[in-house]
Amino acid sequence: MSGHSKWHNIQGRKNAQDAKRGKIFQKLAHDLYVAAKAGGADTYMNASLRLVVEKAKSANMPKDNIQRALDKASGAGGQKFEEVTYEGYGTAGVAVLVETSTDNINRTVSSIRNSFKHFGGALGTSGSVAFQFDRKGYLAIDREIFSELDEDTVLEAALEAGAEDVQTQDAVFEIYTAPNDFQTIEGTLSEAGYVFDEAEVTMIAQNPMIISDDDREKLEQLIDELEENEDVLAVYTTAD
């Protein structure tokens, strides 16, 4: 993963979304769902979920929205949701992964297929683009807030906890883990006093593509439309 910073992509998307309150709540709902699904709905036992709940409260996300995301993850209320990942290509041949949680697969696949068509893309078959991504645990420490931390200290602590890689960027320390080790490593580092600005299991593009500004605009329109779909949990692309 040398030379690639997930943080740059996170910040780019955040800057575009911060002006849209609904987008912020949708992202938080996704993070709540994923964290609760992975580690349970007990914030005392689940550090990832605790972090997201705190963010949701800071963003003034309604309590009902928070609870709805947690109920969806636990299957409360009798609703049965199935997690399905769709794969396709957007503008300029950029690979796109769309993670969903749905109670109606026919509705969801039809909607996602139409979104790809709207912006010159195409929905592919299972396995058509997934091989271009790696699932990784991701932790980011804000260097401005924790200015006393140096690279060697973070590197030693992360590797001792079992992390796979640590990258130092201007704004953050980025820690990557195997997906199955994410909860353990996050817990170990949290107990050691580290606080994370981002903490999630995510998909990392193996070979990020540089695309033109025009193609990027079309791709971002596709991502926006997909993210507006209430069944969509997350969208990942190979665009750098």
Token pair, residue 150, equals: 């140096």
Which residues touch 24 (CB under 8 Å, ≥6 apart)? 17, 18, 59, 61
Q: Answer whether 82's CB lies under 8 Å from 101's CB.
A: yes
Q: Which residues pair with 98 in a beta bridge?
A: 86, 235
Specify the pTM. Answer: 0.75
What does the buried/exposed string (b/e) look like for 108-138 if buried means 16 or more CB atoms within 10 Å of the residue's CB? bbebbeebbeebebebbeeeebeebbeebbb
Q: Is 1.10.10.200 the CATH classification of the domain at 6-78?
A: yes
Per-position pLDDT tens, the chain of length 240: 444 566 666 655 555 555 456 667 877 887 888 788 878 888 888 877 888 898 888 888 988 888 888 887 877 666 677 889 999 999 999 999 999 888 899 999 999 999 999 999 999 999 999 999 999 999 999 988 888 999 999 999 999 999 999 999 889 999 999 999 998 999 899 999 998 988 888 999 999 999 999 999 999 999 989 988 888 888 999 998
Beta bridge partners of 175: 139, 166
